[in-house]
Structure 1
Amino acid sequence: MKNSLEPIPETITYEELSSLNNLIKHIYDFDFSSYSGASLKRRVSRIMELQHLSIFDLRTLLTNNPEYFESFIREVTVNVTEMFRDPDFFKAIKNEVMPYMQSYQKIKVWNAGCSSGEELYSFAILFIEGKIYDRTFFYGTDINSDVLAQAKLGIYDLHKMKVYAENYLKTEAEYTLSDYYTAKYNAASINHSLKKNILFSEHNLASDGVFNEFQLISCRNVLIYFNLELQKKVITLFYNSLANFGFLCLGSKESLRDTAFEKFRVIDKKNNIYQKIA
């Protein structure tokens, strides 16, 4: 698409990014304007660099190729995740949240921005070990259809599972992670017994609304990609989606803001775990 003698731009200006956002919203009705400008700029710049695109090339592809838009969305929204990431967080869930969960007859858990599913499967393991899995239903949602497809399969690189197993042991686990998957060649397949109460589906935190009432919502390291206005909107969405005395889990670099503090009490400040109280 580009003459090899021409310089390849590795960045996009904020003015160009704003114009690109307007183009996408006009053609596809998808609004990136509430995403963190710095994060979006960094990700779009990387796409342009890897694919050797100028801003003109990118606009042309997005205008004329809906299939390219789908791949563009996947690249922009891809997130990094792993099983039992931040073991101290999962220890806190086990010690400070699970005792509350024991008292519920039916439990619903929402992992918002679940990416390829590792975090939700981690929650499921804790609930199995807490002997409340059978009365719990787990929802994993993301905007990226590709990572959701991987989450539904529940098949991961065996080398990654070794890292996940180390994370799991740091949660003071009584078992081994290999109890929950079957290894074949270089892949690990999550056992059906862990998947049977889990549903993965598409949901856009920027535009979609409440779809259930949950006892636990986890959305870790997603809000950092949103601007302050969208962060407040999403926190309100979570508040409205939580049952009374339900729990909200945020990422290590995220926090509740403004009047939201009045509606939650802090369960674990270090691990960003809150409980709805009003």
Structure 2
Amino acid sequence: MKIIFPKFDNIGMPLLGMAAAALFVLEAKRQLRRRTRPKMERLLENGSVAAAALPALRLLLVPGMYAAAQRAQAYNFGLLRWLGLPKWVRYAAGFLLLDYTNYLWHVLLHKSDLLWRFHNVHHSDLDLDLSTAWRFHIGENIASVPYRATAIALIGVPAPLVLFYEVIFEGAAAFHHSNLRLPYRAERQLCKFIVTPRMHGIHHSIVARETNSNFSVIFSCWDRLHRSLRLNVPQDEITIGVPAYRDPQEQSPKRLFMLPFERQRPWQLPDGTVPDREERQPRQVLLP
């Protein structure tokens, strides 16, 4: 079946590029967390990982998802079509359900030993900023194709919505991975609805229960629904990364590419201690 992409894809990609450029400048001017490594070294490392992974995203994942939506439409397949909903309801519900399935996929990346091997490449970054948003192993992008394509077909997502959601999805990922310090009061309100840099920074902590929280991508309601939301960690107390992978010498593109195929280390620091901190209550109040 021939896949014809709507013009929105040609508009959405330049919009993402402009958003990324704006975030790159803003996070340099309004830094949220102190860097632990030279910026240029990380840009080269993360850029090298992205150079392999992004083609898989653009040439395999996005076409695969769009083809799944077209095929489901051709056979009148999918929940939203079977319910006979009005067009605007199908689009609104489709957007929400796509975001929910990506929440579940993110949880699966952490719970599956096999998938974590690949997702570990993303989390082992020793700092967190815009470049981390593209630091995904090519194997993770490839593994997501059958999951996301199947979800799209089962939901019955309209094909144009697939591309619209993907642009918002990638823009949201760039935003919440950025090292951008937003006004605290504004972000405290904003994270009630969408994922923000402070909220996602907690997800990249070396403390296990903090890493295993805040899985949402666009809307934060999924973490509230599943009680996986954690906001009560100050940013200046967070150490970014994975405790067993603290050596900057292991951040080379070659080592990162091979990481999923090596024996995974236990969740502990090189000296054998397990990172932890005293639990604060309430969990759902964002701290500066």
After TM superposition, is the score higher than 0.5? Answer: no
Computing the radius of gyration over CA atoms, which structure comes out larger, 1 or 2? 1
Q: Structure 1-normalised TM-score?
A: 0.25
Structure with greater strand percent? 1
Structure with greater helix percent? 2
Between 1 and 2, higher relative CO (CA 8 Å, sep ≥ 6) is seen in 2
